[in-house]
A and B are shown apart, each in its own frame.
Chain A
Amino acid sequence: MTKSELIDAMAERGKLTKARAELVVNCVFEAMTEALQQGEGIEIRGFGSFTVRPYKAYSGRNPRTGAPVPVPPKRLPFFKVGKDLKELVNNSRHLAITGGDDGDDD
């Protein structure tokens, strides 16, 4: 499912126009992004929680050339799956994993 498929599904199930559904979906993820930007965690009961984890600077490597690359300190979002969702996902093991179009682009 992509974001646009989520918007379509929201429109149908929520009885909204697509334009409204798009505003809704964008608003939800923007609110979440803003919270994470402020370093604030997000807790959605039954779904999971997002936290921001600080990482120290380290020396990495350019995987193509092998040249050392300094990696500055950074903050990354981390998602912990909620218990209910974890079970729900595990119970889908008998089904093939699907996911719309292709690989893993943003």
Chain B
Amino acid sequence: MTKAEIVQALYSKVGGFSKKESADIVDLVFDMMKETLGRGEKIKISGFGNFVLRDKRQRPGRNPQTGDPIQISERRVLTFKASQILKQALNPRGQSAAAGHDADAGARRTEGAAVDHKE
């Protein structure tokens, strides 16, 4: 999927915008998200996921091509954490769960909670 297809979805599903307006609006969505992240602010889209910023300290690394040791400078990175809702949307029930009853679902919920605490 490209931005053009998102524009098309907006144009056909939300009435009242011209194609040009639809394109401008989709651009605006991503521009505003970029602006927000660019001023050090994380983004939480409920039902989709969180765009999280993290500061990394300088650390030793290696040039993967030559194996030479190098310093990796301190930096701020962006990571995406998918929401449980999105993860569930990608994994419909019954598709893979062999013994997927209540106990299993409970364990998965616990697991999700533990992962969330790491942030």
What is the interface of chain A, defined by CB distance below 8 A to chain B?
1-3, 6, 9-10, 13-14, 16, 20, 23-25, 27-33, 35-37, 40-47, 50, 52, 57, 60, 62-64, 69-70, 72-79, 81, 84-86, 88-93, 95-100, 103-106
Q: Report the number of A-B residue pairs with Cβ-Cβ less than 8 Å.
A: 202
Q: How far is the CA of A39 from the CA of B74 in the complex (A)?
A: 35
Size of the chain B interface, CB-CB below 8 angstroms: 68
B interface vs A, CB < 8 Å? Answer: 1-3, 5-6, 9-10, 13-14, 16, 24-26, 28-30, 32-34, 36-55, 74-87, 89-91, 96-100, 104, 107, 110-111, 114, 116, 119
Q: How far is the CA of A1 from the CA of B80 in the complex (A)?
A: 14
Asked whether, in the complex, the Cβ of A91 is within 8 Å of the Cβ of B38, the reply is yes
Asked if B53 and A46 sit within 8 Å, CB to CB, the answer is: no
Chain B residues within 8 Å of A79, by CB: 49, 51, 79-80
Contacting pair A76 B76 (CB below 8 A):
no
CA distance A88 to B38 in the complex (A): 5
The answer to whether A72 and B96 have CB atoms under 8 Å apart is yes
Cross-interface CB contact of B9 among A2, A27, A36, A84, cutoff 8 Å: A27
Q: List 14 A-B contacts (CB under 8 A).
A: A2-B43, A6-B43, A10-B25, A27-B10, A33-B89, A41-B1, A47-B34, A72-B97, A73-B96, A74-B90, A85-B34, A85-B38, A97-B55, A104-B81
